[in-house]
Chains A and B, each alone.
Chain A
Amino acid sequence: MTNAARLRQVWTIARLQLTRVFFSKRSFWVYLLAFFPAVIFFAHGVEVKFKRDRYTSRVTPSSVLDAIRAGDSEGDVLRQAPGPVSDERYRPRRRRRGPDAEQQRTPDRRFLAYWDGSKRWELNFEDGILQTKRARPLNDFEEDRQVYAGVFQYFYLRLAIFFGCLGIFMNLFRGEMLDKTLHFWFLIPARREVLLAGKYLAGLIAAVVIFGSGAALSFALMLWPQDPTALQTFWATDGLSHVFWYSAAAALACVGYGSVFLASGLLLRNPIIPAVTILFWESINGILPAMLQKLSVLYYVEALCPVPPPMDSNAPLLIRLLAAPAEPPTAAFAVLGLLALTALVLFVASRAVRNIEVNYGVE
């Protein structure tokens, strides 16, 4: 049999397997994982859009708002700027009685918000006197990008793609064993390695499509409510590069975790054991010696992410180390390293699949 014929077999197996992977009841939750952040970003976008529409009818010129100073009374401010977009008052419910009641009483608070057409002004009053005033955009593009970076790295890479690949790739062989259908594949005239490649390809296509779509949709929804001018600047500078590297990181995470869980499904019956072990290994990756860090999928794919995730500078060193490797590799090294790691894992899987037996009685 020629290699071209084997490649055709790989594609035929993948094509037939794809339906099972996409529509498996057992892995329905994978879709929930992949699209959950998109729901959050959509809700955020709707909120921003809604506020912007509401504020547009009550614009206060920025020159008026600039003229307001700390120490002004509520009455003065409302006379100068009578159209706040938001007015919230907080009164303490009960006052203490006794000699020190006056010192300990909670002041009356009032928050007024104005819209000057581009920024939201927030005025904070205590007992009728303006204490602070600050202006900020309705939503901060930079902040949203940071949030997306955090969602992508902490949620997608560490949880969603990890567990999603666990669900998809472990089922490729183990699920068929449970359904007592694995013999169908073992009775076709194909090398076991060809079968492995076909199933891996099917799992990879499914994982990349599902998680790529989830991450891309979240990204699009993060951009949706942004200011058009800021968006224009973004696309003219980093936009395409960010989309490319996020996509590459998601796809390579599927490549890496897919191979790891495919091999685990062949070597172990219980998916909990590899899941916990690998999750632990990936989590402590940041504090491992440099050599051991290279045996981690996360080590490579995090290095490809274009925006570092937000991290509180006051967070303990251990947390900061766990969240990010000490010495991230270059992009080229990350891609090649991950592909090399995947090839190694698939080689181990190909050895295992040759010896796997159909024995439904013990499942």
Chain B
Amino acid sequence: MSTPNSPIGPAAATPMSTAATAPEVLFDDVSKFYGEVLGVNRVTLRIPPGITSLVGPNGSGKTTLMNLMAGLIHPDRGVITMRGLSPRHPERLMRILGYATQYDSAPRGSTGLDFVTTGLILTGFSSAEASTRAQAALHRVRMAEASRRKVASYSKGMRQRIRLAQAIAHDPDILVLDEPLNGLDPLVRAETIALFREYAALGRHVILSSHVLQEVDIISDQVILIANGMIIAEGQIRSVREEIHQHPSQFVIRCRDASRIASLLFEHDHITQIKMQDDRLGLLVMTRNRADFSRALTRISLAGHTVESIVPADENMGALYEYLIGGDR
């Protein structure tokens, strides 16, 4: 049983949690339409455990995907499996899934503690255990002090945290979170990311949507880029980047004799552009062939030129977003 002083969830014993046999989230050719408006179209996904970020512009279908996972909406075609369970069976699925939506759902006049406790009682916990778990969850999201206040009086960030507390209170194997970091202050944001990492480290799913691409870079084990209801790319950020051939890969090389290395690199066809950095101790190199670039740089190093560091410049969400979806975030 969790206590307010021990982190809820990953380390806690979970009598309600089901050890699923197929620990993946699967979408098989799933489409969803709202009347004639496309929600998502022919989505096929295999999401392994870990932190997965859904990234896409407004109206791209991120929330639709999440609602489909939780069974709040049903696909017009295709099949969804959440660690072996169908979203059509909330009685089983909701024991292993916690979903923090972007909407408040606290009954009018209820306090934060009431709200989280109510969810746990409905899950089947006794009043005493529900209260203990609720307090632990509230403690985990730094809402213990404000838990006796009415939800209606909370700020945006506090509402965000109370929804997160409700989602994690029953210690689910799958956390689905719609823009969970919105409105959080830096300290709570860092703690929330740490919580996601704890969950992911235990082989659980943390699926979230975010507009803050820098955060997606930092926290995600894999990303799913979605636009106009279609999956544009999915996988680890690096592997997604490697699949994008029409945009040259960018690397920043820090070195002493930058101009000499630049001239040596220009002898190779796959190098499309080199920019000297202002301090003349670095180069931004664009190449069409990462493998050839790697070999060329090895040869240059062996020839006695000192290369201090090589860092990919566009293996991040910002670059992927720009390449695959466009500048409008």
Q: List residues of A whose CB falls within 8 A of some B CB.
A: 1, 5, 9, 12-13, 16, 19-20, 180-181, 183-184, 186-192, 194, 354-355, 357-362
Closest to B93 in A: A189
Residues of B within 8 A of A362 (CB): 34-35
- 7 smallest CB-CB distances across A and B, nearest first, come from A184-B105, A189-B94, A358-B72, A188-B122, A357-B73, A181-B105, A189-B95
Contact partner of A355 (CB less than 8 A), chosen from B74, B101, B119, is: B74
- Convert B93-130 into 0s and 1s, putting 1 for each residue whose CB lies closer than 8 angstroms to a CB of A: 11100010101111110000000001101111000000
Distance of A173 from chain B, by nearest CB (Å): 13
Complex alpha-carbon distance, A183 and B89, angstroms:
15
- In the complex, whether B185 has a CB less than 8 A from a CB of chain A is no
Contact (Cβ within 8 A) A20 B122: no
Closest to B64 in A: A359
Complex alpha-carbon distance, A5 and B126, angstroms:
12
Q: List residues of B whose CB falls within 8 A of some A CB.
A: 34-35, 67, 70-74, 88-95, 99, 101, 103-108, 118-119, 121-124
Instruction: Supply 8 further A-B pairs (C-beta < 8 A) apart from A183-B72, A188-B94.
Output: A16-B122, A20-B107, A20-B108, A187-B94, A187-B119, A189-B123, A190-B91, A357-B73
Contact (Cβ within 8 A) B103 A180: yes
Distance of B31 from chain A, by nearest CB (Å): 14
Complex alpha-carbon distance, A180 and B90, angstroms:
19
Residues of A within 8 A of B93 (CB): 189
Complex alpha-carbon distance, A61 and B43, angstroms:
96
Complex alpha-carbon distance, A357 and B34, angstroms:
11
Contact partner of A13 (CB less than 8 A), chosen from B34, B71, B94, B122, is: B122
Q: A12-B122, A358-B72 are in contact. Are A189 and B107 (CB under 8 A)?
A: no
Most A C-beta atoms less than 10 A away, residue of B70, B90, B92, B107: B90
Residues of B within 8 A of A5 (CB): 124
State the majority secondary structure of interface residues on A: helix
Contact partner of B90 (CB less than 8 A), chosen from A19, A184, A190, A357, is: A190
Complex alpha-carbon distance, A360 and B73, angstroms:
11
Closest to B91 in A: A191
Closest to A188 in B: B122
30 residue pairs of the A-B complex, CB under 8 angstroms, read: A13-B122, A16-B122, A19-B107, A180-B104, A181-B104, A181-B105, A183-B72, A183-B99, A183-B101, A183-B103, A184-B105, A187-B94, A187-B99, A187-B119, A188-B90, A188-B94, A189-B91, A189-B93, A189-B94, A189-B95, A190-B90, A190-B94, A191-B90, A192-B90, A357-B74, A358-B72, A358-B73, A359-B34, A359-B73, A362-B34
Q: A186-B71, A357-B74 are in contact. Are A181 and B124 (CB under 8 A)?
A: no
Contact (Cβ within 8 A) B34 A183: no
Q: A1-B91, A183-B101 are in contact. Are A188 and B119 (CB under 8 A)?
A: yes
Complex alpha-carbon distance, A184 and B167, angstroms:
11
Closest to B73 in A: A357
Complex alpha-carbon distance, A184 and B123, angstroms:
12
Closest to A358 in B: B72
Complex alpha-carbon distance, A189 and B91, angstroms:
4
Closest to B35 in A: A362
Residues of A within 8 A of B74 (CB): 355, 357
Contact (Cβ within 8 A) A16 B72: no
Complex alpha-carbon distance, A354 and B101, angstroms:
20
Contact (Cβ within 8 A) A12 B92: no
Contact (Cβ within 8 A) A189 B92: yes
Residues of B within 8 A of A360 (CB): 103
Contact (Cβ within 8 A) B34 A9: no
Residues of B within 8 A of A19 (CB): 107
Closest to A355 in B: B74
Residues of B within 8 A of A20 (CB): 107-108
Distance of B78 from chain A, by nearest CB (Å): 16
Contact (Cβ within 8 A) B124 A183: no
Residues of B within 8 A of A184 (CB): 105-107, 119
Q: A180-B103, A187-B70, A188-B123 are in contact. Are A16 and B118 (CB under 8 A)?
A: yes
Distance of B106 from chain A, by nearest CB (Å): 8
Complex alpha-carbon distance, A355 and B112, angstroms:
31
Complex alpha-carbon distance, A183 and B119, angstroms:
12
Contact (Cβ within 8 A) A358 B121: no
Distance of A147 from chain B, by nearest CB (Å): 40
Contact (Cβ within 8 A) B107 A181: yes
Residues of A within 8 A of B107 (CB): 16, 19-20, 181, 184
Contact partner of B122 (CB less than 8 A), chosen from A1, A183, A190, is: A190
Residues of A within 8 A of B121 (CB): 12, 16
Distance of A79 from chain B, by nearest CB (Å): 72
Distance of B54 from chain A, by nearest CB (Å): 18
Residues of B within 8 A of A183 (CB): 72, 99, 101, 103, 105
